[in-house]
Chain A
Amino acid sequence: MHKLFIRSFVSSLVFLFTLTVAAVAKDVKAAFVYIGPTGDHGWTYQHDVGRKAVEAAGFKTTYVEGVPESADAERVLRQLANSGHDVIFTTSFGYMNPTNKVAKEFPNVKFEHATGYKREHPNVATYAARFYEGRAILGTIAGSMTKSNVIGYVASFPIPEVIRGINSFTLAAQKVNPNIKTKIVWAFTWYDPGKEAEAAKALIDQGADIIAQHTDSTAIVQIAEKAGVYAFGQASDMDKFAPKAVLTSVENNWGPYYVERVKAVANGTWNQKDTWHGIGDGMVVISDLDSAIPSNVRSKVKKLQADLASGKVHAFTGPIYDQKGNLMVAEGKTADDGMLAGMMTYVKGVEGDIPK
C-alpha cells in the first residue's frame, strides 16, 4: 500500500513536470530522419545542410542518421514524435508508409515526407525536387560539347527518379545535337566510390567524352579529371574535386523549404500540401558554369535555365518517342506530373534496356 502510494506520487510528479516543460517550451523543435550517414557528401549530406539552415534560423533540430526503411523507421519516428518534436522531416522514399502510420498516432505533430506521394492524414505533407530540370541543363551542355557524340551516364537503381533524369538529359542533349547517344551503366549502388570509379572508367574506355552521374560520390568526377574528359557534379557543387572536368553541378537545395515549413509550424500556418519545386523555386540549383563552356553554349544554357524557371519551357515537351518509336508525349503537349512520377521507359536515343 505504502509502496503503491509512493509510486503513484512519483509518477504524478513526473507527469506534472512533463506538463510544465511542455508548457514552457514553446520553441518549435524539428527532427530529421536520414537514410544514410551525414558524411556521404551526397543525398543525406545535402538534407543536413538544409537542417543547419533551420538551426541558423533559430530553431532547435535533431536528426537520426542511417535509419533503415523498415520497422526501424517507425520506431524512430514514434520516439521522435514522443520526445516533443513538432515537425519531423523523413527524407527518403521508403519512409512513406511508416510516416503515414505514425502520423495517425500523433495528430499534433506535423510530418513532411520527401519524394513520396501518400498524404493519408491531415498532418502529412510531401515534398520533392524537380531534379530533371537540372538534368535538362546538363544534357544541353553535354550535347553541345561532346566530340565523340557518346555520353556516358552512371546510374544507380532503375526507379522513376533515375529514369526521368536519364530521359530529361537525353532529350535536352538531342535537341542541340541529334547524333548523340547516351550509354548507361548501372552501378546498383548509391555510393561506393570504387565501383562508381570503375563504371566511369569503363564508359570512358568505351568512347564517352562526357560523363553524367546519378550516384552520390565524387569518384566519377575525379576519374574524369584524370582521363581528361568532362563530367557533372551531383547533389553538391563538386567543382573543387575536379576543377577541369566538372562543367557544372546540380545542387539539391532543401534549406529554404525547410526554414519556410518550420516557420509555418511556429506561426501556426502549416498546412498539408504536395510540393514539387524546381529551378524556379530554388530547390534545384545550377552551380557556376565552368570557363570551358563556350559562350554560345553558355547563353543557350542561361536561356533554358530562365525558361525552365519561369515555366515557359518544360523539360518533357512533345513530341517524345520511346525507344521503339511509340509516341509518349504528343507534339505541343508536356508530360504531366503523374507520368513523370511513374516514368519507367527510356526515350529514343538512350541505349540498352532498363534492368527489370
Chain B
Amino acid sequence: MIIDVNFVGLIIASIMASAVPLILASCGELITERSGVLNLGVEGMMIIGAISGFALMTVTGNLIIAVFGAMLAGVLISTIFAFLTQTLITNHVATGLALTIFGIGISAMIGKNFVGIPGKEFPILFESLKDTIPLLSPILFGHSIVFYFAFALPFITSYFLKKTKIGLIVRAVGDSPESASNQGINVKLVRYACILYGGAMCGLAGAYLSMIYTPQWIENMTGGRGWIALALVVFSTWNPIKILIGAMIFGGLTIIQFHMQAVGVRIPVQFLTALPYIVTIIVLVVISRDSRKIRLSTPSSLGKSFYKDN
C-alpha cells in the first residue's frame, strides 16, 4: 500500500462520509430513547427520507425544499408511530417494526417512477481549500453541509442532554415518567416531540444517502443502516460521543477491509466483511463497561408505555 499523507487523509474523509448517516440516525434515535420511547422504525424512517429527498429534488430542483422535505417526511411518518404508541398506548416494539415494514413498502411504491434517474449534484463547501493543508484538508474541506452538521450533532446532543433544562426534562421523562408527570411535566408532549425529532434526523440520514452519498434512488437503498444505527445507540450506552466513535469504527472497518482486499491481504474475505460488526461491538462494549455510568445513562423506562389517569 502506498502510504502518503494525503492518501491517509482521503481514506479518513471517506470513512467520515460513510459514518454520516449512522451518526444522524443514531443521534436522533438517542433523543427518542432518552425520553423512554423505543422506536425500531429507524430503517423505515430513513428510507422514507431517502425517497422523499430524492423525489423532491428531482421534481422541484430545489435543495432546501428537498432536504427539509425529507426531514418533514421523517416527522410525518414518526407522527404515526407517536400517535399509536403515545395516544393509543400500543406496544413500542411491535409498532416500530411495523413502521419499518411500512416505510420500506411505501417508499418502493412512491419510488417506482424515480428508478433510473440520475440524482442532481449537491453543492459542497470550501472546495477551493481542498489542497491547502496536507492530511487535514481532505478531511476538513470539500464536504456537504449535512456532513458538517452530522459531526457537530453528537456534541450538540451531548450538551443538550447534560446542560440544558429541556435536556434534563427529556431525561427525567425517560427515567421516571411518573415523577416527571407529578412535577407537572407533560410526558406525552415531551415524548411526542422526541419521537418527531428522531424522525426528522432519520429522514435527513436517508436523504444524505439518496442525495449526497450515492445520488440515486433504488428500492431498499438504506441496506440495513437503520438497524446498525439502532444498535449503535444501545452499544454506546446512550452516549452521543460514543455513537460518533462507534460510527467511525464501523465505517472505517468497512472501508479498510475493501482496501485490504484491493491490496491483496490474505485474510478470508468473509472474515473481513464481518469485521466491522465484530470490532464495533467489542470496542463499544469495552469502552462502556463502567456499570455505574451505564445505569446513569440508560433511560430506565425505555420502551414502557406511560398513561396517566385523567
Contacts and interface: CB of A to CB of B under 8 A. Distances in A.
A97 interface: no
Contacts of A41: 115-116, 216, 218
Contacts of A355: 268-270
A104 interface: no
Interface string A121-153: 000000000000000000000000000000010
Contacts of B118: 218, 222, 240-242
Contacts of A45: 115-116
A223 B212 CA distance: 11
B206 to A, nearest CB: 12
Contacts, number: 115
A294 interface: no
A39 B11 contact: no
Interface in B5-20: 7, 10-11, 14, 18
B266 interface: yes
Contacts of A309: none
A241 to B, nearest CB: 4
Given A193-B209, A355-B269, A184 B261 contact: yes
Contacts of B108: 37, 39
Nearest to B258: A202
A217 B264 contact: no
A146 to B, nearest CB: 15
Nearest to A181: B264
A274 interface: no
Contacts of B264: 183, 351-352
Contacts of A201: 14, 255, 258
A199 interface: yes
Nearest to A44: B219
A193 B10 contact: no
Contacts of B254: 195, 198
Given A184-B261, A198-B14, A353-B266, A39 B218 contact: yes
A205 B261 contact: no
A193 B258 contact: no
Nearest to B254: A198
A194 interface: yes
Interface string A40-65: 11100100000000000000000000
Nearest to A356: B268
Interface in A242-300: 242
A191 B219 CA distance: 10
Contacts of A208: 262
A219 interface: yes
Interface residues of B, number: 39
Interface of A is mostly: mixed
A193 B262 contact: no
Given A45-B115, A192-B223, A205 B216 contact: no
Nearest to A240: B118
B38 to A, nearest CB: 25
Given A202-B255, A355-B270, A356-B268, A193 B216 contact: yes
Contacts of B97: none
Contacts of A193: 209, 213-214, 216, 218, 221, 223
Interface footprint category on A? 35 or more
Given A39-B108, A39-B219, A207 B2 contact: yes
Contacts of A185: 258, 261-262
Given A40-B218, A217-B216, A222-B216, A202 B223 contact: no
Contact of A217 (B2, B14, B218, B259): B218
Contacts of A222: 118, 214-216
B225 interface: yes
A222 B118 CA distance: 9
Contacts of B10: 205
A203 interface: yes
Contacts of B11: 205
Contacts of A197: 213-214
Interface in A163-204: 183-189, 191-199, 201-203
Given A40-B219, A188-B273, A198-B14, A219 B214 contact: yes
29 contacts: A38-B115, A39-B115, A39-B218, A40-B115, A41-B115, A41-B116, A183-B262, A183-B264, A187-B258, A188-B269, A192-B221, A194-B18, A194-B225, A197-B213, A198-B18, A201-B258, A202-B262, A203-B258, A205-B7, A205-B10, A205-B11, A205-B14, A206-B259, A217-B214, A218-B214, A218-B216, A241-B118, A353-B266, A355-B269
Given A186-B261, A193-B218, 10 more contacts: A37-B219, A39-B108, A39-B112, A41-B218, A189-B223, A193-B209, A193-B216, A222-B118, A240-B118, A356-B268
Ordered nearest first, which 10 A-B pairs have the shortest CB separation?
A202-B258, A193-B214, A39-B219, A192-B223, A355-B269, A219-B214, A37-B219, A206-B262, A39-B115, A241-B118
